[in-house]
Amino acid sequence: MAKNCFSFVVFLLTIYGFLTIVESRSRARVYLESQCRPAMYPDLCVRTLLPYVDKTGVISPQRIAQISLATCLSKARVTKNYVDMVAKKLNETGSFGDYQALEECSRQIENGVSQITQSFKELQQIAKDGDENFVWHESNVLSWVSAALTDVTTCIDGIVGDGISRRDRAMMKARFLNVKQLASNSLLMFTRFTTRYRAARGIKNP
């Protein structure tokens, strides 16, 4: 009898814990949906941020911007590796025109990776070295992420070679599109953070 009671209590606690987790995730989704609603790709925004919420379901605006940029950076690196793999294959098969086009694309996405990396580091410096440097950091991040977005868009438009297999072309375009969408969302999340930061610190536009 005691054993049955103990098992029942364990069962109830397990159910309670599960329901608590579900409720927490539900609150987190509602919160993130409100934060991501203005984004151009709100569903992607929610999926990007949801794994990082704590039990309160809340992430600070700066943390949201950091996660968005970090995810974009990770996807950009993976995309560059894939482009390099396809370019190497084209070089081996003698499709030199397509190889050169992908080499140029690889350089552009490498620039994008560098720009997003710099943006992430710059974002981390905000609030660490004084409000007098805020406008400088803000301007750098906006410029670099925008430039990365342009580089990715250029690569997408340039994938037209007949020597590239249909599968590789589709895979590259899908990866580039994902990076482009993440970069677009990152810009908005960063702008939302800086708008709130300005208001809280009384920093005026230059």
Q: How many angstroms from the chain centroid is the CA of residue 29?
A: 17
**Residue type at 21 in one-letter notation:** I
192 token code pair: 């939302």
The answer to whether 33 and 46 have CB atoms below 8 angstroms apart is yes
- Calculate the alpha carbon distances from 1 to 5, 24, 32, 137 in Å: 6, 35, 46, 67
- Go through the domains of the chain in sequence order and give each one's CATH number: 60-201 (1.20.140.40)
pLDDT tens-digit profile, the chain (206 residues): 555 554 544 444 454 443 344 444 577 778 888 889 999 999 999 999 988 876 556 788 899 999 999 999 999 999 999 999 988 888 887 677 778 888 888 899 999 999 999 999 999 888 787 788 888 999 999 999 999 999 888 887 777 667 788 888 889 889 999 999 999 999 999 999 999 998 888 877 76
The H or E element that residue 25 is part of is helix 2-36
**Residue type at 32 in one-letter notation:** L
- Phi-psi label, residue 9: left if phi above 0, alpha if psi -120 to 50, beta otherwise: alpha
Q: How many angstroms from the chain centroid is the CA of residue 154?
A: 19
**Residue type at 129 in one-letter notation:** D
Q: Collapsing DSSP states into helix, strand and coil, what is residue 75?
A: helix
- Phi-psi label, residue 60: left if phi above 0, alpha if psi -120 to 50, beta otherwise: beta
Q: Residue 35, Cβ neighbours under 10 Å: how many?
A: 19
30 token code pair: 């509602």
